[in-house]
Amino acid sequence: MTATPHSQQNHQEFAGCGDRLRRAREAAGLSLDDVASRLKMPARVVKSLEDEDWSRLGAPVFVRGQVRSYSRLLGLATTTMMDALPVAPVEPAKLVSRVHTPKLQWWAEQLGRRLVYIVLTLSLAIPAWVATQQHLSRDVGTVAALDTPVDQAELRKAAAQPAPPQTLVASMAPVAAAAPAPVAKSTDIVLRASDKTWLEVIAQDGSILEKGLLSEGDLRRYPAAQVQRIKVGNLPAVTLEDRNGPVQVSAKAHTNVARFTVSSDGSLVAAD
């Protein structure tokens, strides 16, 4: 039986996300390699999108981003494609405060800080006051000595005695220039996002320091001694820095995802 136009339209409306992408690509006269070249992603990823093999594409946030890019390339409505995509969007992890300081403890801490400030101030002010009093006492003694009459004969006798010769020794040894103080390098790991970016940071004890989505303009800074592993996605929108300076993230990419471990000296090392 020949399919009617109405049945064909219903089939297209209820077709899967991958089937829509395949039909649109074939209608545009593009091959898998053409799409892969334009989207700058491996051809196997494009084929996995059309086959709806989500298990080979990584986290849901990357799947939705790849489908959105593919849809824009073929001129499909991204909202409709996102609704048809059977992959739930990833929501950022909710940060819940688990620390509560009782009011009495808070007031005790505030009072303690003020007492420390007062003690430090007194420890600096009292020596300065004592030094000032000693200086004033010396000035008063000097003025009193100047007011005492001087025997003019003693002065003439002291002026008539020649001063002992002084020997000056010149050294030809070159004077060593002071070495410039070394500039301390930052031991922090710094991450900046210029667009939506997926991030996962694992601490040295295996706990999760942060996991979720970053928005455009977000900045993260972690002490290198506290971090064990870092995984980032959407690499064109990520810049990373360690103690040696900027890290070439794109050169260490694998399917638009980069994984790093932190070495003992605080440097980022690409992981498999």
Give me the tens of pLDDT residue by residue for the chain, a chain 272 residues long: 443 443 343 334 445 778 888 888 888 888 889 888 888 888 888 888 888 887 777 777 778 888 888 888 878 777 767 766 665 554 555 555 556 678 889 899 999 999 898 989 998 889 888 888 887 777 655 555 545 555 566 657 666 666 666 655 545 555 555 555 554 556 788 989 898 887 899 998 989 989 988 898 899 988 988 888 988 887 788 888 888 888 877 655 567 788 889 887 878 888 76
What's the rounded Cα separation, in Å, for the pair 52 and 17? 7
CB 247 within 8 A of CB 268: yes
CB 188 within 8 A of CB 224: yes
Which residue range forms the structural domain that includes residue 207? 188-270
Q: What is the pLDDT of residue 270?
A: 80
Q: Which of 33, 68, 84 is the last residue of a domain?
A: 84
Q: What is the pLDDT of residue 200?
A: 92
Q: Which of 32, 51, 84 is the last residue of a domain?
A: 84
Q: Radius of gyration (Cα) for the chain, nearest Å?
A: 38
The verdict on residue 57 lying in a domain is yes
Domain of 56, CATH number, reads 1.10.260.40
What's the rounded Cα separation, in Å, for the pair 252 and 268? 11
Residue 30: CA atoms inside 13 Å, Cβ hemisphere, count?
A: 20
The verdict on residue 169 lying in a domain is no
The verdict on residue 109 lying in a domain is no
Q: What are phi and psi of 262, to 5 degrees?
A: -105, 120
CB 169 within 8 A of CB 193: no
The verdict on residue 47 lying in a domain is yes
Global pTM exceeds 0.75: no
The total domain count for the chain is 2
Q: What is the dihedral of CA 10, 13, 17, 20, to 10 degrees?
A: 80
The verdict on residue 203 lying in a domain is yes
The verdict on residue 21 lying in a domain is yes
Residue whose token pair is 């999108």: 49
Q: In the structure encoding, which two tokens stand for residue 272, read together?
A: 């498999």
The verdict on residue 151 lying in a domain is no
- Quick one: 232 exposed, middle or buried, by C-beta within 10 A (0-12, 13-18, 19+)? buried
The verdict on residue 171 lying in a domain is no
Q: Is 68 helix (H, G, I), strand (E, B) or coil?
A: helix
Q: What is the pLDDT of residue 208?
A: 93
Q: Which of 63, 84, 105 is the last residue of a domain?
A: 84
